[in-house]
Amino acid sequence: MASRKPAADGIPAAPARPRLTVMRDVAKLAGVSHQTVSRVLNNHPNVRVETRERVLEAMRSLNYRRNLAARTLVTRQSDTLGIIGFETTLFGPASMLYGIESAARDAGYMVSIASVRDLERRQVLEAVDRLTQHSVDGVIAIAPKQSVNHALAQAPPSLQCVAVGGSGESDAAPTVSIDNAAGARLATQHLLDLGHATVHHAAGPSDWPESVERIEGWRRTLYAAGAVVPPVEHGWWDAESGYAQGRAMARDPAVTAIFCANDRIALGVLRALHEAGKRVPEDVSVVGFDDMPDSGFFVPPLTTVHQDFGELGRRSLSLLLEHMATSPEVPPPDRVLVAPQLVIRTSSGPLRH
Amino acid sequence: MASRKPAADGIPAAPARPRLTVMRDVAKLAGVSHQTVSRVLNNHPNVRVETRERVLEAMRSLNYRRNLAARTLVTRQSDTLGIIGFETTLFGPASMLYGIESAARDAGYMVSIASVRDLERRQVLEAVDRLTQHSVDGVIAIAPKQSVNHALAQAPPSLQCVAVGGSGESDAAPTVSIDNAAGARLATQHLLDLGHATVHHAAGPSDWPESVERIEGWRRTLYAAGAVVPPVEHGWWDAESGYAQGRAMARDPAVTAIFCANDRIALGVLRALHEAGKRVPEDVSVVGFDDMPDSGFFVPPLTTVHQDFGELGRRSLSLLLEHMATSPEVPPPDRVLVAPQLVIRTSSGPLRH
DNA sequence: CTCAGCTCTGTGAACGTTAACACGCGCGCC
DNA sequence: GGCGCGCGTGTTAACGTTCACAGAGCTGAG
């Protein structure tokens, strides 16, 4: 029925353009002007209910959808937000991405994504460029390294950006992140309260603000408690690095409590401890950071600091929207901190011999 | 320097529109018509090199960027692809997403994402609708459930879709997925070869094709080897489900080898085994599926079936592009299978008492 | 009664690009 | 020498919206 008939008249072939239904068609059917249709679409108040109803009906019967490209052309806004993604294959960034996307959808925005392989200025700038070219209305950068903020500072000033997951030290863009220092404090204090003389730290990379802030929080807490601050070695965010650090620590009998920069590192530490014949938590307590989906099923179930990545995404979106609403004269960029939460499972406990 | 001056003449305020640089400006500077600029931009052959050079120079000096919205309006293609995402917070889907996005970028496409909270027809259709409205040129659906294919069948026929990660049983769209049956065969045969009388299976959800195909591959392999096929219980894709299934299996002395539907389930199984005092692999061998980043650091390191999610993404993209290139008359949809690979670590071994 | 000021609607002109055609020029061929 | 043809370029008209106006009809105050 609905199949397109080959033009039966003299014309050899129909033009390649299928002629989609546009406002004019709706207008004609409803017996109004295209402008009235536009008004209905944009919820302009000054349309008689009766007229509006007629237009709506026409749109329905023609299965009309407005052409966003045309709209974007004239309004210069696309109802699309850009996300600069990094390592989005990992749980944390992937969750933020999801959180942002959900929130954006609820706010009526589409989301386009530009991943970067690494966080060099050039790549970030190129991502920004790709996004601008597709005329996004704003950008959220999953930006766990300083370099991103530097790059963002070079973005066209008309483009609103917010950075999520990084440090707030840049003045390039407002930032939303977990309160890493608070999380580290929670974890460290928990271990101290359990009676451990001090707490060792299996750290992340040295050039990631998240890692640095966790170290800082951990260090301060020890200092405040008058405990000795053991030296830290930096690693990557994965289990392999945790395993390496864990092996070293397992050899040191002074180590009775380890705060890991994230759950994956904790997984590696756990394995190293296991191989060294140390029991957790009887001999050594371990605490992670992130609360990945399965960390409750590590051996033993991991005590960890829970991050609400979804909340992070939502907050960053609302911050962006807020900044987009105010005029482009730059207000002092804010930093939003999301409070983390300690989840106590069985990998931490008092020292027992 | 480049700041906008307030109009000094009689006009009270500059119009809100900042007047961005357009083809006409470039044309004027280069002393050609805007059409020539367009030709340069689109690499039309019939432009004298000298002219092209002049235009390019003008574009550079004006920092011109073409307005994609206008281009989309007239060409009816946006150079943007849509992705329908599901559970993109998990490693597998997140990796596919990343793989698709990278491949798309290399092919000159932008990627917009529409997540669905669950895979009901209505939500999927709504996602398709959102994407069409933003005039994407094609859609890749991360579609691990049958319902998605059904929904896709209802999408406007002009919209090219490919489904990734699902079963190929639908005729709605071409599909690319891991060869789940082959993967299951690899795992099962490996355990059989190790000398186990039979292999138990910790399964995923019953309504996911991936899960069903893995069961099927496992079952066939046992059958072909003349081994008894133990009953399966379905669960979810997470460690919790694996833990529950693992506890039950730990009680059964006949269980000496367990093939898990994914690595997270394997993690739970490992924990259950550990708690029950069973040694892995001495008492029970365990094999997973996915090869998540840290499964090499489980206790013990997990033997598993490696999926190349990046390849999956690339293949689905090239399939989509291929289908977009051929005219809309629907060619019989293909199914592309990506071969998985067994990664042997230490969680599997011969039975030892 | 008149005129200002609402409410509702229509008309024409952007927006910035590509498509379709037209034109002038030089070249080779008969 | 005429003619056809390909090359490089310019001119004009879409594409489907929204914006800025203008105008018709009504209301109510002076």
pLDDT computed for residue B330 by the predictor: 61
- Strand D contacted by A58 CB (< 7 A): no
Cβ–Cβ of A113/B112 closer than 8 Å? yes
Which amino acid makes up residue A53? E
CA distance A74 to A83: 24
For residue B158, give the chain A residue with the closest CA.
A18
Task: Summarize the confidence of residues B308-332 as an average pLDDT.
Answer: 82
DSSP one-letter code for A280: T
Is B180-307 in the same CATH topology as B23-66?
A: no
With 80 as the cut, is the pLDDT of residue A12 above it? no
With 80 as the cut, is the pLDDT of residue B169 above it? no
Quick count: other Cβ atoms within 10 Å of Cβ B214? 28
Helix (H) or strand (E) holding A80: strand A80-86
Residue A271, classed as helix, strand or coil, is helix
- Strand C contacted by A226 CB (< 7 A): no
Please state which CATH class domain A78-178+309-338 belongs to.
alpha beta
DSSP B232-274: -B---SSHHHHHHHHHHHHT-TT--EEEESSHHHHHHHHHHHH
All residues of chain A having their beta carbon less than 8 Å from the beta carbon of residue B239 are 293-294, 296-297
Using one digit for the tens of pLDDT, what is the confidence trace for A180-207?
999 999 999 999 999 999 999 999 999 8
All residues of chain B having their beta carbon less than 8 Å from the beta carbon of residue A18 are 158
Alpha-carbon distances of B142 from B167, B180, B286, B330, rounded to whole Å: 11, 16, 28, 21
Query: pLDDT tier at B191 (50, 70, 90 boundaries)?
Result: very high
Q: At what angle do helices A49-62 and A23-30 cross, to 10 degrees?
A: 120
Residue pair A273/A248 in contact by the 8 Å Cβ criterion: no
Residue A184 token pair? 């580290």
- Strand C contacted by B44 CB (< 7 A): no
CA distance B332 to A98: 34
Beta partners for residue B209, in sequence order: none
Question: How distant is the alpha carbon of residue B75 from its chain centre?
Answer: 28
Nearest-CA neighbor of A317 among A84, A78, A86, A107?
A107
CA distance B131 to B135: 6
With 80 as the cut, is the pLDDT of residue B335 above it? yes
With 70 as the cut, is the pLDDT of residue A49 above it? yes
DSSP A127-158: HHHHHHHTT-SEEEEE--SHHHHHHHHTS-TT
Q: Which residue has the tokens 């014949």?
A: A277
With 60 as the cut, is the pLDDT of residue B15 above it? no
Among A92-101, A109-118, A240-249, A325-334, which stretch is predicted with the lowest mean pLDDT? A325-334
Of all residues in chain B, the percent with pLDDT exceeding 70 is: 91
pLDDT computed for residue A2 by the predictor: 33
Residue pair A314/A99 in contact by the 8 Å Cβ criterion: yes
DSSP one-letter code for A233: B
Residue A287 token pair? 């605490």
Residue pair A70/A24 in contact by the 8 Å Cβ criterion: no
pLDDT computed for residue B190 by the predictor: 98
Please state which CATH class domain B79-178+309-338 belongs to.
alpha beta
Number of H helices, E strands in chain B: 12, 11
* Long-range contacts of residues A69-73, Cβ cutoff 8 Å, at least 24 apart: A69/B69, A69/B70, A69/B72, A69/B73, A69/B78, A69/B135, A70/B69, A70/B73, A72/A135, A72/B69, A72/B72, A73/B67, A73/B69, A73/B70, A73/B73
Residue pair A157/A328 in contact by the 8 Å Cβ criterion: yes
Cβ–Cβ of A101/B113 closer than 8 Å? yes
C13 C1' to A300 CA distance, Å: 71
Q: Which of B101, B112, B298 sits opposite A115 (nearest CB)?
A: B101
With 70 as the cut, is the pLDDT of residue B313 above it? yes
Task: Summarize the confidence of residues B168-178 as an average pLDDT.
Answer: 78
Cβ–Cβ of A264/B293 closer than 8 Å? yes
Strands across the sheet with B200-202, in order?
A: B200-202, B257-260, B285-290, B303-306, B341-343
Q: Which of A278, A299, A311, A346 to mutate to test the interface with B (most CBs of B within 10 A)?
A: A299
- Strand C contacted by B40 CB (< 7 A): no
- Name the residue ranges covered by the structural domains of chain B: 23-66, 79-178+309-338, 180-307
pLDDT computed for residue B146 by the predictor: 76
How many residue contacts between A and B have a Cβ separation below 8 Å?
145
Using one digit for the tens of pLDDT, what is the confidence trace for A231-274?
999 999 999 999 999 999 999 999 999 999 999 999 999 999 99
Tell me the shortest Cα–Cα distance from A213 to chain B, in angstroms: 24
Kindly provide the b/e burial profile for residues B67-94, where b requires at least 16 CB atoms within 10 angstroms of the residue's own CB.
Answer: bbbbbbbeeeebbbbbbbbbbbbbbbbb
| A74: nt with nearest C1' to CA | C15
CA distance A143 to A208: 10
DSSP B158-193: TSEEEEESS-S--SSS-EEEE-HHHHHHHHHHHHHH
- Strand C contacted by B70 CB (< 7 A): yes
90-129 in chain A: CB under 8 A from chain B: 90-91, 94-95, 97-98, 101-102, 105, 110-115, 117, 129
With 90 as the cut, is the pLDDT of residue B8 above it? no
Query: pLDDT tier at A150 (50, 70, 90 boundaries)?
Result: confident
With 50 as the cut, is the pLDDT of residue A331 above it? yes
CA distance B198 to B53: 71
- Strand C contacted by A328 CB (< 7 A): no
Tell me the shortest Cα–Cα distance from B274 to chain A, in angstroms: 8
CA distance B319 to B333: 10
* Rounded (10°) CA dihedral B320, B326, B329, B332: -60
Which amino acid makes up residue B203? A
Please state which CATH class domain A23-66 belongs to.
mainly alpha
Q: Over A249-266, what HEC string results?
A: HHHCCCCCEEEECCHHHH
- Strand D contacted by A23 CB (< 7 A): yes
Cβ–Cβ of A95/B89 closer than 8 Å? yes
The CATH architecture that domain A180-308 belongs to is 3-Layer(aba) Sandwich (3.40)
CA distance B59 to A323: 31
CA distance A303 to A97: 25
| B39: nt with nearest C1' to CA | C18
Using one digit for the tens of pLDDT, what is the confidence trace for B53-107?
999 999 999 999 999 999 999 999 999 999 999 889 888 889 999 999 999 999 9
Q: Which of B102, B115, B299 sits opposite A299 (nearest CB)?
A: B299
238-297 in chain A: CB under 8 A from chain B: 238-240, 242-243, 264, 267-268, 270-271, 274, 293-294, 296-297
Q: Which residues contact A40 (CB under 8 A, 6 or more apart)?
A: A47, A51, A52, A55, A56, A59
- Strand C contacted by A70 CB (< 7 A): yes
Q: Which residue has the tokens 């901190």?
A: A337
pLDDT computed for residue B121 by the predictor: 84
All residues of chain B having their beta carbon less than 8 Å from the beta carbon of residue A123 are none
D28 C1' to A50 CA distance, Å: 25
Q: Which window residues (48-67, chain B) lie with Cβ within 7 Å of strand D?
A: 48, 50-52
Fold of B180-307: Rossmann fold (3.40.50)
Quick count: other Cβ atoms within 10 Å of Cβ A275? 14
Q: Which of B19, B89, B126 to mutate to test the interface with A (most CBs of A within 10 A)?
A: B89
pLDDT computed for residue A169 by the predictor: 65
Q: At what angle do helices A34-41 and A23-30 cross, to 10 degrees?
A: 100
Alpha-carbon distances of B286 from A166, B193, B310, rounded to whole Å: 39, 14, 26
Chain D positions with any atom < 7 A from a protein CB:
7-12, 14-20
Residue B185 token pair? 């065969």
